[in-house]
Amino acid sequence: MNIDPRVLKTLLQLQMSSNLGSADSNASGGTDNASMFNAVLQQLMSDPDSNGAALSALSNAGALNNDSTSAMFLQPLVAASYGSSAAQQGISQASGTELSSAPVSGGSNSSYDELINQAGSKYGVSPSLIKAVIDTESSFNANAESGAGAKGLMQLMDGTARGLGVTDSFDPQQNIEGGTKFLAYLLDKYGGNEKAALAAYNAGPGRVDRAGIKTNEDFTALMGNLPKETQKYVGKVLGAMGEYTA
């Protein structure tokens, strides 16, 4: 079994955290970490060489809502996401915590430039924003699939994809078209305020609306009402935009 030592270390940390959490009747972290431990272990047992997929499972299993836990587990493991297509998997929109590998084709030389420019022109969305979302969601891996079921370049959930007319989320053209259409809808809904729209892309419009966020200023003032993963996600996408702005 060819398990990356860093993955093995994290499994041990998860097991320890689970045991400690179970000793505290008020702690939910033990249960969450036990579930994550089992999910990662099952992934490795089914495919012993799937270290990258295991890292994705660590992010998607749901126990990384705690910042200190996230930092302890993920920081030493980011560099382990490499190699096979499984290792290049994107992270779920529901998570917002990314383990991005190097883009398959990054920057202005992206092999998806034509599709991105076409979709951006059609829906009035900046190509740099589309690229930043793709980079953050999947690291330009068209075959990415998260543990939560988000698929493709822009990590569309099946229900969202169906509503956008996407029949194959792993088809780059359909995925970019659908994801850009959804971005355009959110940008329109929130009056062009990118922070609010990106928060909704990650956490869902309903959650953003319940948080009272309608503008960029609202996001800055009220982002504490959103999951920390979403707060980080918005910053990550906006930071990536600078890399793709001509």
Among residues 98, 137, 145, 229, which one is catalytic?
137
Contacts of 201 (CB under 8 A, 6+ apart): 93, 133, 182, 183, 186
Q: Is 145 helix (H, G, I), strand (E, B) or coil?
A: strand
Is 137 designated active site?
Answer: yes
What is the signed CA dihedral for 57, 62, 63, 68, rounded to 10 degrees? Answer: 90
C-alpha to C-alpha distance for 210 and 74, rounded to whole angstroms: 30
Residues 6+ apart with CB under 8 A from 47: 53, 86
| Residues taking part in catalysis | 137
